[in-house]
Structure 1
Amino acid sequence: MMRVTLTGYSRGILSAIAVICATVAMMFSGNLLAQGDLTRKPQKLPELLMGSEESDYSLSEKKYELETGKAYRLEIVASGLKPYALRAPEFFASIYLRKIEAGGMEIKAVSLNELEFEDEGSAEIFFVPVKPGTFEFYITGLRHKGMEGVFVVK
């Protein structure tokens, strides 16, 4: 029979390993493991309307509050009063993009850089935020006119 004697140093290492294993087990139990498809049944957000009768430079929403792991759909509508190019580079890089619906078709893409509207029209994006933070969105060339806002993801 072999007998193993642990030194204080060895006991400390084993204790640290036990704590790490317990922490990992807690992380992967309960609420952190999702069941089902996270992209289904998206919550509809208030539409983002670019331009209005009051001003070519208005945005209907300046702030969207979102949560990681929840599915959303956002309709982006261009009034047609000006060309509008919506950009949100950091936000687009921090979401899972399921699809874009525009012009009677679905566009399946891995990422998005910009949504540009030359005329009146709309596009709807379906996505799941995966990274928390505050992310700016803006209309290219029209930020100085107040055409900017934020996505706050918790």
Structure 2
Amino acid sequence: MRLINKLLTPAICAAMLLSGQQALAEGDLTRRPVKLPNLVLGTEDNRYYLSQTRYELETGKSYKLKIISSGQTEYAIKAPRFFQSIFLRKVEAGDMEIKAMSLTELEFEQEGEAEIYFVPIKTGEFEFYSAGLEVKGMKGIFSVK
């Protein structure tokens, strides 16, 4: 009986692993991200301009979002609940590629841009804003289905 148990245990584990693979998504979810419309912060005419106030996303899809600062003022982009509900692949800024587990904020002290690569993993409506400039209209929503 012990011999049968010793033989069956690896077979059962292998069957469980194989059946589990069928439930996984095919391919690498971080490849070929969907390019979202750029998020532009300020213009020469309106330092509080925000090009997008709503992004429609889906869980399990890979996205890249370019955030462009006009440099008209300092912008600190925050999205605390959203940043906690995504798989962050990387952030590209200047000549750097930053790989981290999460974000707290993206602060632009002058003109510049950053691109974030991520996969939403939780549904909901998540606010993003430029800290201190929300009353000027610099806020929006990431809507994840």
- Scaled by the length of structure 2, what TM-score is found? 0.84
Partner of 2:39: 48
Q: How many residues align?
A: 126
CA RMSD for the aligned pairs? 1.3
1:102 to 71, 79, 93: 93
1:134 to 105, 113, 125: 125
Does 2:140 match 1:146?
A: no
Q: Write the letter of the residue equivalent to 1:56.
A: R
Counterparts of 1:54 and 1:138, CA distance in 2:
20
Shift of 1:54: 2.9
Partner of 1:62: 53
Q: Write the letter of the residue equivalent to 2:36.
A: L
Consecutive unaligned residues in structure 1, runs of 5 or more: 1-27
Does 2:24 match 1:33?
A: yes
Shift of 1:103: 1.2
Shift of 1:29: 9.2
Q: What whole-Å deviation, never above 9, does each CA across 1:62-90 have from its counterpart, x for those lacking one? A: 00000000000000000000000000000
Consecutive unaligned residues in structure 2, runs of 5 or more: 1-19
Shift of 1:125: 0.1
Higher Cα radius of gyration: 1
Partner of 1:22: none
Counterparts of 1:105 and 1:114, CA distance in 2:
17
Q: Write the letter of the residue equivalent to 1:101.
A: E
Counterparts of 1:127 and 1:29, CA distance in 2:
23
Q: Write the letter of the residue equivalent to 2:88.
A: L
